[in-house]
Structure 1
Amino acid sequence: MTTTLIYGGSGGIGQAIAKRLHQQGQHLHLVGRDAEKLAAFAQTIGASYTCGDVTNPELFAQATAEAGEQLTGLVYAVGSINLKPLRRLTIEDFQQDYAINSVGAALAAQAAFPTLKKNGSASVVFFSSIASQQGFSSHASISMAKAAVNGLTLALAAEFAPHIRVNAIAPSLTATPLAASLTNNPTVAEAIANLHPIPRLGTADDIAALACFLLSRDSSWLTGQILHVDGGRSTLRPKG
């Protein structure tokens, strides 16, 4: 049985991906910061796991080793939402967002590459954001970090071909625990939902459906793509 390694495996999107893959008979190795939450979720789906923080560079070799030699899929579903005007951002804000979103993705791929290449027909899924290609106020730090993920996706897709496919998903606002500060306010959530041609917020399962497709052989001729799951917000203006 092959294994998929999921960073952010106890988060909203990570859990949704893990549940779908588990239903498909895939073995999973999960990585997360919250030891209690991670262990409890891993037990429900029979997954192995590594507890750690992606800002610790030593985590990646450990997680890859503990995932085992049958690794064919890598998901980096770790992110941050740091919405401040430029005047309020500190160097620590920029460094943290870059470390969590971009550097962590690169280090995860670097650690997993030898095993993924050995097993062949492997797939890597990163997470970008609609904010990497749309201009939103108070998004400077996260937009920079997610735009770096786009560049990483293209560079690694070229470097890893033909053995490993690399793609990224760029969601709009999705109702997950990470976004709770926005989505838990009904007025704010409704206002944001109505900005989308399909007027609702995304769900973790919306994102997981695409992630599982990208990890599967059904997407075997798809690499180097930044795929938007955003209710049409990045490209459509149906009201003029």
Structure 2
Amino acid sequence: MNTSVNTYIVAGASSGIGLELAKILVKDSMVYGLSRTAGALNGNANYRHLPFDFLSDEKLPEISGKANAIIYCPGSITLKPIERLSVSDIERDFAINAKGAFSFIKSYINNIKNTPNAAILLFSSVAVQTGLPYHASIAMAKGAIEGLTRALAAELSPNVRVNAIAPSLTDTPMAQALLNNETKVEANKQRHPLKNIGSPQEIALFANHLLTQSTWITGQVFGINGGMGTIIK
């Protein structure tokens, strides 16, 4: 185990953006990763996997000691027209996104409260600030994340910084149904002014900067979205 004082608690560290961020952090810090599966970092001396399903009603595992930051990465992609959208769809998206983030923060806030430059990082979606067809469920769930980000930034300052990242479509396992052939990939690239799909590695690098290099940023939601919703081209 790394003897560094740097410790990070990452929900969703086994896949996608969460995995890429954990890969960066684990190079010189201790990372506790909460997810259903162990993932690629299992066995790394600086990584400890804690099995947990954020759709369950179980109590989150206890983690002792101080941490520098807590990061909640789990998400969902539910794309349905309003006629097909069900209450169970809404409840599931809210559970894994908003309720999960709340429970995660509540469980580990005491790990970071007395740490210098402590941080909380959450993940929203481009669909909150940009109206997109068939995104009603995820827009509502991630909208709650953005509200939570700003409310906690006010409540916890000046001791804890709270920010969120709102990506557009990113090349992760969760998004593979939208990227599983060249036609879909090209069509989704063309929807973005920068004509590309989001990179989990690039988003993880930005997240790492917010966590380890920034000291004067809080209450912000950063759109990493290839220009979608900001410019028209």
TM bucket (normalised to shorter chain) is over 0.9
Q: Secondary structure in 1 aligned to 2:142?
A: helix
Residues 8 and 76, structure 1, Cα contact 8 Å, conserved in 2: yes
Q: Secondary structure in 1 aligned to 2:43?
A: helix
Deviates further, 135-144 or 116-125 = 116-125
Give the deviation of 1:102 after TM superposition.
0.7
Note the residue ranges of structure 1 that are not aligned, 5 or more in a row: none
- Segments of 4+ in structure 1 off by > 6 A? none
Q: Deviations over 1:135-192 (max 9, x none)?
A: 1111110010011100000000001111110000000000000000001121111111
Amino acid at match of 1:234: G
Residues 199 and 231, structure 1, Cα contact 8 Å, conserved in 2: yes
For this pair of structures, how many residues does the alignment match?
229
Q: State the distance in 1 between where 2:181 and 2:143 align.
A: 28
Q: Secondary structure in 1 aligned to 2:26?
A: helix
Amino acid at match of 1:100: I
Amino acid at match of 1:224: G
Q: For residue 236 of structure 1, what is the aligned residue in structure 2?
A: 231
Q: For residue 32 of structure 2, what is the aligned residue in structure 1?
A: 29
Aligned partner (choices 88, 94, 102) of residue 92 of structure 1: 88
Q: Secondary structure in 1 aligned to 2:83?
A: helix
Q: For residue 150 of structure 2, what is the aligned residue in structure 1?
A: 154
Are 2:121 and 1:118 equivalent residues in the alignment?
no
Q: Deviations over 1:90-130 (max 9, x none)?
A: 11110000010111111111111112112232111100000
Aligned partner (choices 165, 172, 179) of residue 175 of structure 2: 179
Give the deviation of 1:46 after TM superposition.
3.2
Q: For residue 14 of structure 1, what is the aligned residue in structure 2?
A: 18
Q: Deviations over 1:197-223 (max 9, x none)?
A: 21110111111011101111x210000
Residues 17 and 204, structure 2, Cα contact 8 Å, conserved in 1: yes
User: TM-score, normalization: structure 1?
Assistant: 0.91
Aligned residues with identical type, % of pairs: 39
Q: Secondary structure in 1 aligned to 2:113?
A: helix
Q: Taking structure 1 as reference, are residues 196 and 84 closer, same or farther at Cα in structure 2, changes over 3 Å only?
A: same
Q: State the distance in 1 between where 2:102 and 2:224 align.
A: 22
More helix by share: 1
Q: State the distance in 1 between where 2:164 and 2:59 align.
A: 22
Q: For residue 101 of structure 2, what is the aligned residue in structure 1?
A: 105
Residues 157 and 224, structure 1, Cα contact 8 Å, conserved in 2: yes
CA root-mean-square deviation: 1.3
Q: State the distance in 1 between where 2:9 and 2:59 align.
A: 13
User: TM-score, normalization: structure 2?
Assistant: 0.94
